[in-house]
Amino acid sequence: MIVIGVSSGTSADGIDVAAARLESDGDLIRLTPLGHLAHPYSPDLRGWIRAALPPASTTLEMVCRIDTRIGQEFGEAALKAMEEFTQGRADLVASHGQTLFHWVGGSTVHGTLQMGQPAWIAEATGLPVLSDLRVADVAAGGQGAPLAATLDTLLLGGRSEPTAALNLGGIANVTVVRPDAPPSAFDTGPANTLMDTAMRVVTDGARDLDVDGALARTGAPDPDLLEYLLSEPYYRLGPPKSTGPELFGPDHLERALHEVGRPSDGDLLATLVELTAITVADALRPHGVTEVFASGGGTQNPVLMDRLATHLAPARLTSSDAWGLEGDAKEAYLFALIGFLSWHGVPGSVSDCTGARRETVAGRITPGAKPLRIPEPVVWTPRRLRIEPVRG
């Protein structure tokens, strides 16, 4: 079947959409990437989302507006991908939505809220839509994150050496696969979110991206600020664990600058790059990984990648492009995979990684233009994922 995966990450800078052909062959799933595009949010919607993210307060009216508009813009993005990559034909849309709140208390997730009303996506595309992909795992006692473990464990399984997949979105998350132990996955802490916040501070809101790490390259880490930031207790929690802007939002950086003082702009960005590199490397070191496959927007920052390579050594730092998946597209393909699994009644989360009592089938389904016909649940259990080249 052909599945359209649609998502927007913690940075809330736009919509990633990917089309994939998926088929099963015993315990092997074959995924053929058909195409990926980035669809920016409209300026007013992006502003609404940013204004509603923690620690800000909002109103139910704005919640309704955001939920509606995200659904509409996700629908436009999914339809565009269908027209561009599948000649207008597909079987399902799997929509992660936009996370507005991840309710964490200590090491327990009590709830999670992803917005983007799926009825608008179904109306735009005519396809059934799988949405709310995290909630079943949370209800079963899991973190609801990182769902990337679903794809990572299938791709990395069978390796003879400990290996990790690293996603550098707003928050950094890792999946560790070892031949002698169950897989593990968790959020390590901030990746881009604090750097983006700092850029908005130093440019008075004009920019939220340090393109190519240009500003960070001009500075050096401030030791006092770095020490203060590294004192955050989250880094010492054991997995499973997950986090988001509820903890690592603008107020997190504001408190640090108030306590320690604000360094020069270049030193501020260099400090936040170093924070991400250190916390990722510290989180992976106990697992003895020999290779790390990186994906996500943070891979476009050469300063961050250089510092990660230094701190991760002797482990090798490699791009997930080596798998045949564009680093920026990996999460959209992940959600297409989860859509395929749920459609066939197969769990879309890895309980060893999320901490859930059991593995759950992800999401809820909104019918499309035609009567809904879900196949009988399959009897196979996927154990391997192979990325196939596009056939001519």
Q: Which residue has the tokens 């680093």?
A: 327
The DSSP code for 329 is G
The token pair at 155 is 């791709």
Q: Are 2 and 17 in contact (CB under 8 A)?
A: no
Give residue 261's Cα distance to chain centre: 32
What are the start-end ranges of the H helices in the chain? 43-52, 60-85, 118-125, 135-139, 149-156, 193-202, 214-217, 223-230, 250-260, 265-284, 302-312, 330-343, 351-354
Q: Which residue has the tokens 């504001």?
A: 254
Rounded CA gap, 162 and 11, in Å? 30
Long-range CB contacts (< 8 A, 24+ apart) of 173-182?
Answer: 173/145, 173/146, 173/148, 173/242, 174/146, 174/280, 174/283, 174/284, 174/292, 175/146, 175/148, 175/149, 175/353, 176/284, 176/287, 176/289, 177/152, 177/153, 178/287, 178/288, 182/352
Helix (H/G/I), strand (E/B), else coil: 74: helix
Question: What does the pLDDT read at residue 315?
Answer: 98
From the list 158, 162, 155, the residue with the least C-alpha distance to 177 is: 162
- pLDDT digits over 272-327, tens only? 999 999 999 999 999 999 999 999 999 999 999 999 999 999 999 999 998 888 88
* Count of Cβ atoms closer than 10 Å to residue 378 Cβ: 13
* Count of Cβ atoms closer than 10 Å to residue 179 Cβ: 11
Q: Are 101 and 112 in contact (CB under 8 A)?
A: yes
The DSSP code for 365 is E
Question: What does the pLDDT read at residue 392?
Answer: 58
Residues 6+ apart with CB under 8 A from 251: 55
Low-confidence residues of the chain, pLDDT below 70? Answer: 392
List, as one string, the DSSP characters of 106-172.
TTEEEEEEEE--HHHHHHHH-S-EEE--SHHHHHTT-----TTHHHHHHHHTT-SS-EEEEEESSEE
Identify the burial level of 25 via C-beta atoms within 10 angstroms of its C-beta, where 0-12 means exposed, 13-18 middle and 19 or more buried.
exposed
Rounded CA gap, 80 and 95, in Å? 15
Rounded CA gap, 268 and 131, in Å? 38
Question: What does the pLDDT read at residue 81?
Answer: 98
- Amino acid letter for position 217: R
The token pair at 4 is 């359209």
Question: What does the pLDDT read at residue 11?
Answer: 78
From the list 162, 146, 123, the residue with the least C-alpha distance to 286 is: 162
The structure's pTM equals 0.95
Q: Are 166 and 187 in contact (CB under 8 A)?
A: no
* Structural domains of the chain, ranges and CATH numbers in brackets: 2-141+329-387 (3.30.420.40), 150-323 (3.30.420.40)
The token pair at 141 is 């006692």
Residues 6+ apart with CB under 8 A from 358: 140, 351
